[in-house]
Structure 1
Amino acid sequence: MSARTGSVKHVTSTANPLIKAVRALHQRKARAESGLFLAEGHKLVLDALAAGWTPTMIVAMEPATDAVSDLGARVRALGADVVFANAAVMEKVARRENPQTVIGVFEQHLADPKTMPAGTIVALEEPRDPGNVGTIIRTADAIGAAGVILIGSSADPFGVEAVRATMGSIFHMPLARMDADAFARFAAARPGPMIGTHLAGSVDIRTIDAGPSHILLMGTEQSGLTAALAQRCDSLVRIPMAGKADSFNLAIATAIGLYELRRPHL
């Protein structure tokens, strides 16, 4: 337990410096500079606490329900500050009407890929859509993956949209960022094959045996894998399609790939 008990404040103005600082976390630049991010929702904060994450602060709707008051007391005992705000302020903080009753402010945590245990790693090369990134983190958690790696310039997994799409899995799934060269070195040193999905893939993903430890490598939403990383894959696979569409949404394709590769081990 923290030696410090968090403070309690009541705020009624959107001009309050604390509120301005929290609102700024909707911007990637502010998240990068502060190392903080927002998690919206009472349940999401509870999920974080259960996973061992303590917020630096929560902003809670006033008048508070018993459940919100209990949560406030719990996080204060862990050293987090509690800011109670009226509905108008909460709408500004959330940048949406009908906001959640609790918004948590957390420190970002990134994993060292070398500490990821044997199993399935999902690697995403420069994904652009934060909703896809969040959904893939959630799916990786559901399948029991060892971790998710974002390669190169990608959507921010700690943005509000991405965090919302994880449905709490941001607090459970080891997450790393690497540039392409560092990832290539990591993949070469890690036991097990690297399987890439590619429109030119010659192997039906349903037929491949990737073993218990492997990397599933996915490309961008628009253009797929770059040639440089595709050439480093042990196999390039395709997901068969019978209709007129020429591709899947990235999150859907990743989910299919994960379940096919993990099927023998579920």
Structure 2
Amino acid sequence: MDAVITSLTNETVKSVRALHAKKEREATGLFLAEGLKFIGEALDLKHTPQMLLVGQDARPHPLLDRAKAETRAKGGRIVIVTHAILEKISRRDNPQTVLGVFRQTWTPLDAIEPAQAPCWVALEQVRDPGNLGTIIRTADAAGCGGVILIDDCVDPFSVEAVRATMGSVFAVSISRTTSEEFLAWRARWPGSVIGTRLDATAGYRDGAAQRPALLLMGNEQAGLTDRLAAACDVNVKIPMRGRADSLNLAIATGIMVYALTEGAA
């Protein structure tokens, strides 16, 4: 039988709400996802919630029935909660009526198979969760194989980053590594390695990249470090034709991945 929780101080409520904190996500290997559509994306990609929290006022829906059935079948918990609890867990005044707690999935760097996709994205020290989530979503849309996080990047399983992925966090492989490990691994990359720098002389459409392409994007403020830029086959720039002297990182990454995947099947 499904559990029913009405108390804001219940231990289950506290443990799920704690997943907003990186320390708790790292300790448990879990993360929080919000919304029935998001959970439907997860189910389609064979990711089942460890726990499904359903608001008492959630409307009947075939997808909700499916989510409950698959969660039960995999041994997960279904918890019926009040609107106040949903607000507390989500930290939003207008929360989704269905929340899911999922297991994090990481792809080891050495498990990446470059030939599986025309383009892969590597990010160095990205700080903004909205940027990271949008890049993961864009990589999914463009048919990229995965996103590699180098050194001290923001957590892709933070609530803010997950929201920005719109479900693509389940569709794109995510890896994390140090710059030292990345550079050793990059030496075996079979295609072109392209960096982006404001001081580059080549344009982002100059020359043909050999696929699979590996795109390196740097930190929002400082850009790609000299060390990683030196490891690229070529560094390119996106022209600034107006008064703005740079682009948002997620926008720039989107332009680059579509340029590198143009014409891919």
Structure 2 partner of 1:50: 44
Structure 1 partner of 2:110: 114
- Answer whether contact 2:125 2:153 (CA < 8 A) is retained: yes
Letter in 2 for 1:226: T
* CA shift for structure 1 position 264: 3.3
* CA shift for structure 1 position 74: 3.2
Q: Deviations over 1:212-258 (max 9, x none)?
A: 21110000000001111111111010101100111100000000011
| Number of residue equivalences | 260
Letter in 1 for 2:12: L
* CA shift for structure 1 position 208: 2.5
Q: Deviations over 1:102-132 (max 9, x none)?
A: 1100010101233333231100000000000
- Answer whether contact 1:212 1:265 (CA < 8 A) is retained: no
- Answer whether contact 1:218 1:225 (CA < 8 A) is retained: yes
- Answer whether contact 2:48 2:70 (CA < 8 A) is retained: no
SS across alignment from 1:236: strand
Structure 2 partner of 1:3: none
Q: 200-209 or 18-27, which moves further after superposition?
A: 200-209
* CA shift for structure 1 position 64: 3.6
Question: Which whole-Å CA distance do the structure 2 matches of 1:173 and 1:69 have between them?
Answer: 26
- Answer whether contact 2:29 2:103 (CA < 8 A) is retained: yes
Structure 1 partner of 2:187: 188
Question: Which whole-Å CA distance do the structure 2 matches of 1:90 and 1:161 have between them?
Answer: 16
Where does structure 1 lack aligned partners over 5 or more consecutive residues? Answer: 1-6
TM superposition score normalised by structure 1: 0.95
Structure 2 partner of 1:21: 15
* CA shift for structure 1 position 169: 0.4
- Answer whether contact 1:60 1:101 (CA < 8 A) is retained: yes
- Answer whether contact 2:43 2:67 (CA < 8 A) is retained: no
The CA RMSD measured in Å over matched residues stands at 1.2
* CA shift for structure 1 position 190: 1.4
SS across alignment from 2:152: coil
Letter in 2 for 1:20: K
Letter in 1 for 2:210: G
* CA shift for structure 1 position 69: 4.7
TM superposition score normalised by structure 2: 0.95
Question: Which whole-Å CA distance do the structure 2 matches of 1:71 and 1:180 have between them?
Answer: 39
Q: Does 1:84 align with 2:80?
A: yes
SS across alignment from 1:74: helix
- Answer whether contact 1:36 1:107 (CA < 8 A) is retained: yes
After TM superposition, the runs of 4+ consecutive aligned structure 1 residues lying more than 3 A away are: none
Question: Which whole-Å CA distance do the structure 1 matches of 2:65 and 2:211 have between them?
Answer: 45
- Answer whether contact 2:204 2:237 (CA < 8 A) is retained: yes
Structure 2 partner of 1:4: none
Letter in 2 for 1:86: T
User: Alignment identity in percent?
Assistant: 48
- Answer whether contact 1:126 1:219 (CA < 8 A) is retained: yes
Question: Which whole-Å CA distance do the structure 2 matches of 1:70 and 1:204 have between them?
Answer: 49
Where does structure 2 lack aligned partners over 5 or more consecutive residues? Answer: none
SS across alignment from 1:66: coil
